[in-house]
Amino acid sequence: MSVTQQAMANAIRALSMDAVERAKSGHPGLPMGAADIATVLFTKVMKYDMADPRWPDRDRFVLSAGHGSMLLYALLYLTGEKHMTIDEIRNFRQLGSLTPGHPEVHHTPGVETTTGPLGQGISTAVGMALAERMLNAEFGEIVDHHTYVLASDGDLMEGVSQEALAIAGHLKLSRMIVLHDDNDISIDGPLSVADSVDQMKRFEACGWSVERVDGHDQDAIFAALERAKASDKPSYISCKTTIGYGAPTRAGTAKSHGEPLGETEIAGARKALGWTSEPFVIPQDILDAWRAAGSRGADAHAKWRKTFDGHHQKGEFERRLAGDLPAAFGEAVLEFKRAAAVDASEIATRKASEAVIGAIAPALPELVTGSADLTGSNNTKVAATPAIAPGQFAGRFVHWGIREHGMAAAINGMSLHGGLIPSGATFLVFADYMRPALRLAALMKTRHIEVLTHDSIGLGEDGPTHQPVETLAGLRCIPNLLVFRPADRTETAECWQLAVEAKGSPSVLALTRQNLPQARKSFTEENLSARGAYELKAASGAAKVSIFATGSEVSLALEAQATLEAKGVAARVVSVPCMDLFFDQDDAYRASVIGDAPVRIAVEAGVRQGWDQLIGSDGIFIGMKSFGESGPYKKVYEHFGITAPAVVAAAEHRLG
User: Which is the catalytic residue, given 21, 81, 265, 404?
Assistant: 404
**Residue 293: what are its φ and ψ, rounded to 5°?**
-65, -40
Specify the DSSP class assigned to residue 363.
Answer: G
Cα separation, 140 vs 502, whole angstroms: 28
Active site residue 158: no
Give residue 27's identity as a one-letter amino acid code.
H
As a whole number of angstroms, the distance between CA 294 and CA 253 comes to: 33
| DSSP state, residue 142 | G
Contact 547, 535 (CB under 8 A): no
Contact criterion met (CB below 8 Å) for 368 and 421: yes
Per-position b or e across 259-285, b if 16+ CB within 10 A of its CB: bbbeeebbebbbeebebeeeeeebeee
Greatest distance between any 2 Cα atoms in the chain: 96
**Cα→Cα distances 147→62, 130, 442, Å:** 8, 10, 23
Give the separation between CA 236 and CA 258, rounded to whole angstroms: 26
How far, in Å, CA of 5 to CA of 86, rounded?
Answer: 21
The CA-CA-CA angle for residues 241, 246, 248, to 5°, reads: 120
DSSP string, 494-546: HHHHHHHH-TT--EEEE--SS-B-----S--SS-GGGGS-EEEE--SSS-SEE
The arrangement of strands across the sheet holding 545-549 comes to 534-537, 571-575, 545-549, 599-603, 620-622
Whether residue 518 contacts residue 575, with contact meaning beta carbons closer than 8 Å, is answered with: no
Q: Which residues are catalytic?
A: 404
